Structure 1
Amino acid sequence: MQELTSTIMSRSFLPTTSPRLRLRPRSLVRMTVCIDQSRKEKVVVILGATGTGKSRLSVDLATRFSGEIINSDKIQFYNGLEIATNQITIPERCGVPHHLLGELAPDSELTASEFRTLASRSISEIASRGKLPIIAGGSNSFVHALLVDHYNRETNPFASGSKISSELRYDCCFLWVDVSVSVLFHYLSKRVDQMMESGMFEELAGFYKPRDSGKTAQTGIHKSIGVPEFDRYFEVYPPEINGKMCEWDPERKAAFDEAVQAIKDNTWLLAKKQIHRIMTLRSSGWEIKRLDATSSLRASSREVYEKNVLEESVKIVNRFFLKV
């Protein structure tokens, strides 16, 4: 084993002080450490169902620990539907670099195996710059593909009877942003309404192409919740004949409401599937720390979020770096 002895300032990944969250940083002291180049790279992995606040937490941790974020949401890899796919906006990124976010063409298809290769490269590049790689997203099959030591692309790790390995190729700090079922259900329904008010319908109308509708196998961003639901609507009411909603006849309004409700139903099914898979990973030996974000989501309060979610996350990450 090759080891290098060097004198460094113990400031890597130290949290910076925020005026909104006063946390006591570790003191900067000179120390002589033995660096083992064969050690696994440290990464922080943020898990959670859709709508629980993974993106916000990833940015807050990145600003405090000098990190960069790797997207692990399989739909957010693609560009073209920023509202429908809930991509974090440029202002919300607060200058933190994001990787594999909105970079692929809408009709392309990224497999879990390809994600493993691309995300691994991003982790190495981020770590080589002395930054902390932070993986955030809801696609747990892709997270599994990236992190397990021995990955078999021919098997579904979440299929009945499958066994998930706890042997990982990175030194991982897992954070699970969890919200109670009842609160999350109502929040996701409300969020769909807010997305529609923010221009999701117009975005989907501009994206719709009659030749794409009715395909038996959708690819890329076409699998995003919202696309198939409104494809069925646009087949009957093409975008070019859209007028003001107040001018729509009852049948058209009913078809629109049906599409919106289908989006809400499918979003909730996705959330339940994501929660189940996180629990499966946890029961398979992955050391996943649960953060209860119920009160902060219910109150929509930055102060409650910082106290119950962010502050606890910073403590967990600090302990992770102190771990030998």
Structure 2
Amino acid sequence: MENNQPLIVIVGPTAVGKTATSIDLAKQYDGEVISGDSMQVYRGMDVGTAKITNQEMDGVPHHLIDIKNPDEAFSVADFQSLAKKAITEISDKEKLPFIVGGTGLYVNSIIYDYDFSDVKEDRAFRDRLDKFAEEHGNDALHEQLKLIDPKSFQQLHPNNRRRVIRALEVYHLTGKSVTEESHQAQRSIYDAKVIGLTMDRDVLYDRINLRVDLMINEGLVEEVKHLYEQGYEHCQSMQAIGYKEILEYIKGNVTKEEAVSQLKQNSRRFAKRQLTWFRNKMDIEWFDMTSDEEKSLKEIHHFLKESFNKYRI
């Protein structure tokens, strides 16, 4: 069911400039930001997730950041529930809600109101898959998706074992893919405008490489070491890009240089997958941030004013 609640969504690949853009727009339109990132919910995982700092927030309130410990599960259904609640609370204050992030499924679950209420579980099947992954590796488990659910195969990283298992489980129980089983609505339940930030690939990859170098300088190794010492090594959160690579270095399996190189490569590949998702799954107004960010911001402002003219934002 649709409502007239305006909602601005900002998506794009990692390192494209979503954070700075969202702050600029939120200040312009008296908004508050809901993080649409699956990793920034975790406390103590700051450097590796490029989590926004209090200084960067510049007074703009943020939601769904630092709400879970690294050993706690956090699903798309959890995100959907909390994000909807935050949208209502922001709107009740007569402020404009923004969702900002690079986790496509999370963002889509809000825009199209995925229904997760009827999804079943099979613990025994799940345990068998987990054991299979322990014995044969995450890549072998991930490969099982290729024939039965090629969309999930493309969208899910092999090391995201929990979601790979869930996709296999849903198909095992229903014969349908995760997206089919979630009963996606055909239209947004909000008056949502989705802004996509893009960039020339070489420029974006250079930014990603630079961001990784900055993360190392800002203490990523120390952050991962602290999480490792706290006993979080085998948590799903530690399989995220930025953590699993550095963990291998901390455990002595690779050199620091090898870990950093792998992190850069995995981050670039992740950016490519993000762009593929957004282009195939969402109705997006794209803005190129390659050369003249100031000009692109003006174009975004114009787009929003035209789109939300009836709300007088």
TM-score (structure 1 length as normaliser): 0.73
Aligned to 1:270: 270
Q: Which has the higher contact order (CA 8 A, sep 6+)?
A: 2
What is the alpha-carbon distance in structure 2 between the residues aligned to residue 39 and residue 52 of structure 1? Answer: 31
What is the alpha-carbon distance in structure 2 between the residues aligned to residue 151 and residue 158 of structure 1? Answer: 19
Aligned to 2:62: 98
Aligned to 2:255, what secondary structure does the other structure show? helix
Aligned to 2:152, what secondary structure does the other structure show? coil
What is the alpha-carbon distance in structure 1 between the residues aligned to residue 268 and residue 112 of structure 2? Answer: 28
Matches within 5 A, 1:161-200: 165-200=185-220
CA shift in 2, pair 1:320/1:77, >3 Å: same
The alpha-carbon deviation at position 205 of structure 1 amounts to 2.1
Gaps of 5+ in 1: 1-37, 238-253, 296-303
Q: Which amino acid aligns with 1:294?
A: T
Aligned to 1:240: none
Q: Which amino acid aligns with 2:228?
A: Y
What is the alpha-carbon distance in structure 1 between the residues aligned to residue 114 and residue 54 of structure 2? Answer: 36
1:105-148 Cα shifts (integer Å, max 9, x gaps) = 12111100111110000000000100000000000010111221
Gaps of 5+ in 2: 121-148, 154-176
What is the alpha-carbon distance in structure 2 between the residues aligned to residue 199 and residue 39 of structure 1? Answer: 44
- Which structure shows the higher strand fraction? 1
1:230-259 Cα shifts (integer Å, max 9, x gaps) = 22222228xxxxxxxxxxxxxxxx711011
Matched, 1:319 2:306: yes
Aligned to 2:236: 219
What is the alpha-carbon distance in structure 1 between the residues aligned to residue 285 and residue 12 of structure 2? Answer: 11
1:186-236 Cα shifts (integer Å, max 9, x gaps) = 2111211121112222222222238544x4xx323x233222112222222
Out of 111, 116, 125, the position equivalent to 2:75 is: 111
The alpha-carbon deviation at position 158 of structure 1 amounts to 4.5
Matched, 1:306 2:294: yes
CA shift in 2, pair 1:58/1:211, >3 Å: closer
Q: Which amino acid aligns with 1:40?
A: N
Matched, 1:261 2:257: no
1:24-53 Cα shifts (integer Å, max 9, x gaps) = xxxxxxxxxxxxxx8431100001000001
Contact between 1:75 and 1:223, CA under 8 Å: does it hold in 2? Answer: no
What is the alpha-carbon distance in structure 2 between the residues aligned to residue 117 and residue 157 of structure 1? Answer: 27
Aligned to 1:66: 30
What is the alpha-carbon distance in structure 2 between the residues aligned to residue 53 and residue 175 of structure 1? Answer: 12
The alpha-carbon deviation at position 321 of structure 1 amounts to 1.1
User: CA-atom RMSD, angstroms?
Assistant: 2.4
> How many residue pairs were aligned?
254
Aligned to 2:133: none
Contact between 1:68 and 1:126, CA under 8 Å: does it hold in 2? Answer: yes
Contact between 1:149 and 1:167, CA under 8 Å: does it hold in 2? Answer: no
Contact between 2:63 and 2:86, CA under 8 Å: does it hold in 1? Answer: yes
Q: Which amino acid aligns with 1:269?
A: R
Contact between 2:71 and 2:232, CA under 8 Å: does it hold in 1? Answer: no
Contact between 2:3 and 2:189, CA under 8 Å: does it hold in 1? Answer: no
What is the alpha-carbon distance in structure 1 between the residues aligned to residue 239 and residue 51 of structure 2? Answer: 15
The alpha-carbon deviation at position 149 of structure 1 amounts to 3.5
Contact between 1:177 and 1:291, CA under 8 Å: does it hold in 2? Answer: yes
1:136-181 Cα shifts (integer Å, max 9, x gaps) = 0000010111221443475989537867654111110110010111
What is the alpha-carbon distance in structure 1 between the residues aligned to residue 83 and residue 259 of structure 2? Answer: 34
Contact between 2:47 and 2:215, CA under 8 Å: does it hold in 1? Answer: yes
What is the alpha-carbon distance in structure 2 between the residues aligned to residue 157 and residue 92 of structure 1? Answer: 39
Contact between 2:34 and 2:63, CA under 8 Å: does it hold in 1? Answer: yes
Matches within 5 A, 1:77-156: 77-152=41-116, 154=119
